[in-house]
């Protein structure tokens, strides 16, 4: 009979201490999560696959702990992995029909680091197909639902990971973030989500959507857990030339200078989100932190900039999925028809839309008019952040303009769906880090999230201020 463990009360520190003290084993903890998954995943659709060897992984970890071969804080910790991060020998589909039977041939660098720490992988989580979406409704395998309200979205594109953590189907999870895909679902599901500084974490082994924007990061129950995972997976990697080993730490001020770009908090932000944000600002003032209005004029153009650059990179990265080398294959009359039929059958509607947008802005006669101008604007957005951080330590905004919205509400209106990224997208364009922390719930139990953004390599600042907010 499985040992009864209160999963809702656990974080990594408590679970690790209990495993090391013998209160329960990694096997016991993994079994408890598998039982929770068996009762809730049918409703949530957070996992696309639960690994059948999870208990065998746990038994091996227990053996190593007993033999003194493993003693770190992650030994025996069950974790969920987004379905676009490679684990050797396992299916990695990016929630697409294109890769239904694709088995990874190697471990992503972040997976190799977590394996070394003794993490147990519970399964692969649902997502928007090839990370293209903000609600996990674009998955080829059905939407993931919000653990706080099954009629609402979990957010996206890392919605499965956020739902798993928010619904206690995993202690911690990995996601990827190209324009808010860790922070927004973390906000919707009441979790902590970190988008690290670009290049802080190797992207090797993560299926690329937009290579200059993508980052891997944690979704966790607490700030301490997010920090531990980040510090485990960060660092330079010979397989990712953009990664760096800059381990600079920030000096934590006794009282923060906090900037608020109030001109962004206008149309589109719901009344309840604005009220929750203003209450959090007042809390920070009472704690002695200073609040400064900050003007960042180019951030108003972030969405337009992002939805040119991101599809351009995505259309290039997804060109490799041709039905010949790997992936979905449909026979045609010749190789060209094979190619068209395979991509037509393998890709979903949103992926096709972004490939078409990206191909258009990169085409002859339009490259300078669209892509070139967007790339120049990206540098102006980064300069807005540089100027802001010359005056303040961090910036804060809501993570999203609304709480989790109803399933199906925005599926027929892509532009409205894209507007959900208004606060998260600028961060990726500038390459700076941002942390989403929960700031309570509304009257119906739906979580709010606050986004804290800092200069490059200031994750320590984000964690420190986040602890002031989440107690």
Percent of the chain with pLDDT over 90: 92
**pLDDT digits 0-9 by tens, 236-246:** 999 999 999 87
pLDDT of residue 266: 86
CA 45 to CA 70: how far, in whole Å? Answer: 33
Given 25, 93, 139, 181, which residue is catalytic?
181
**pLDDT digits 0-9 by tens, 454-471:** 999 999 999 999 999 986
**Residue 211 annotated to the active site:** no
**Residue 157 annotated to the active site:** yes
Given 82, 145, 195, 221, which residue is catalytic?
82
**pLDDT digits 0-9 by tens, 67-104:** 999 999 999 999 999 999 999 999 999 999 999 999 99
Smallest Cα–Cα separation from 367: which of 308, 430, 305, 307?
A: 308
What average pLDDT does this structure show over 251-273? 94
**Residue 82 annotated to the active site:** yes
pLDDT of residue 2: 67
CA 404 to CA 420: how far, in whole Å? Answer: 10
CA distances from 214 to 42, 138, 333, 400 (A): 30, 18, 37, 19
Given 154, 157, 243, 436, which residue is catalytic?
157
CA 450 to CA 439: how far, in whole Å? Answer: 6
pLDDT of residue 1: 56
pLDDT of residue 426: 98
> Which domains does the chain show, CATH number per domain?
7-233 (3.90.1300.10)
**pLDDT digits 0-9 by tens, 9-49:** 999 999 999 999 999 999 999 999 999 999 999 999 999 99
CA distances from 88 to 24, 93, 109, 156, 160 (A): 29, 13, 11, 25, 20
**pLDDT digits 0-9 by tens, 391-444:** 999 999 999 999 999 999 988 788 788 888 999 999 999 999 999 999 999 999
Percent of the chain with pLDDT over 70: 99
Asked whether the beta carbons of 45 and 123 are under 8 A apart, the reply is no
pTM metric for this prediction: 0.96
């Amino acid at each position: 009979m499985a040992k009864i463990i209160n999963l809702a009360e656990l974080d990594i520190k408590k679970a690790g201490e209990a495993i090391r003290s013998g209160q329960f084993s990694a096997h016991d903890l993994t079994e408890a999560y598998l039982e929770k998954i068996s009762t809730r995943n049918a409703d949530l659709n957070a996992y696309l696959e639960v690994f059948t060897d999870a208990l065998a992984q746990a038994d091996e970890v227990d053996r190593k702990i007993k033999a003194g071969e493993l003693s770190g804080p992650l030994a025996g910790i069950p974790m969920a992995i987004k379905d676009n991060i490679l684990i050797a020998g396992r299916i990695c589909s990016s929630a697409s029909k294109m890769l239904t039977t694709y088995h990874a041939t190697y471990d992503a660098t972040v997976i190799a680091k977590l394996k070394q720490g003794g993490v147990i992988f519970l399964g692969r989580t649902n997502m928007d197909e090839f990370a293209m979406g903000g609600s996990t409704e674009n998955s080829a395998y059905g939407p993931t639902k919000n653990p706080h309200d099954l009629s609402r979205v979990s957010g996206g594109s890392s919605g499965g990971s956020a739902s798993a953590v928010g619904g206690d189907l995993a202690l911690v999870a990995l996601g990827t973030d190209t324009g808010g895909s860790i922070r927004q679902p973390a906000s919707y599901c009441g979790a902590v989500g970190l988008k690290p500084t670009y290049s802080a974490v190797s992207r090797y082994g993560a299926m690329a959507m937009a290579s200059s924007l993508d980052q891997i990061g944690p979704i966790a129950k607490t700030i301490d857990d997010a920090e531990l995972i980040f510090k485990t997976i960060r660092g330079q990697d010979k397989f990712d030339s953009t990664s760096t080993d800059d381990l600079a730490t920030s000096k934590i001020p006794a009282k923060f200078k906090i900037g608020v770009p109030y001109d962004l908090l206008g149309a589109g932000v719901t009344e309840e989100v604005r009220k929750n944000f203003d209450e959090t600002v007042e809390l920070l003032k009472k704690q002695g932190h200073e609040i400064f209005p900050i003007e960042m004029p180019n951030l108003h153009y972030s969405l337009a900039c992002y939805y040119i650059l991101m599809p351009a990179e995505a259309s290039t990265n997804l060109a490799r999925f041709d039905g010949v080398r790997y992936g979905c294959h449909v026979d045609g009359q010749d190789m060209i028809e094979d190619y068209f039929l395979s991509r037509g059958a393998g890709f979903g509607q949103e992926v096709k839309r972004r490939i078409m947008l990206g191909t258009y802005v990169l085409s002859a006669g339009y490259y300078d008019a669209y892509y070139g101008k967007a790339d120049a604007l990206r540098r102006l957005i980064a300069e807005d952040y540089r100027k802001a951080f010359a005056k303040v330590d961090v910036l804060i905004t809501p993570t999203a303009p609304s709480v989790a919205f109803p399933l199906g509400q925005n599926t027929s209106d892509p532009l409205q769906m894209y507007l959900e990224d208004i606060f998260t997208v600028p961060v990726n364009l500038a390459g700076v880090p941002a942390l989403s922390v929960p700031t309570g719930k509304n009257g119906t139990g739906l979580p709010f999230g606050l986004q804290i953004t800092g200069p490059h390599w200031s994750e320590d600042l984000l964690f420190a201020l986040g602890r002031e907010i989440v107690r």
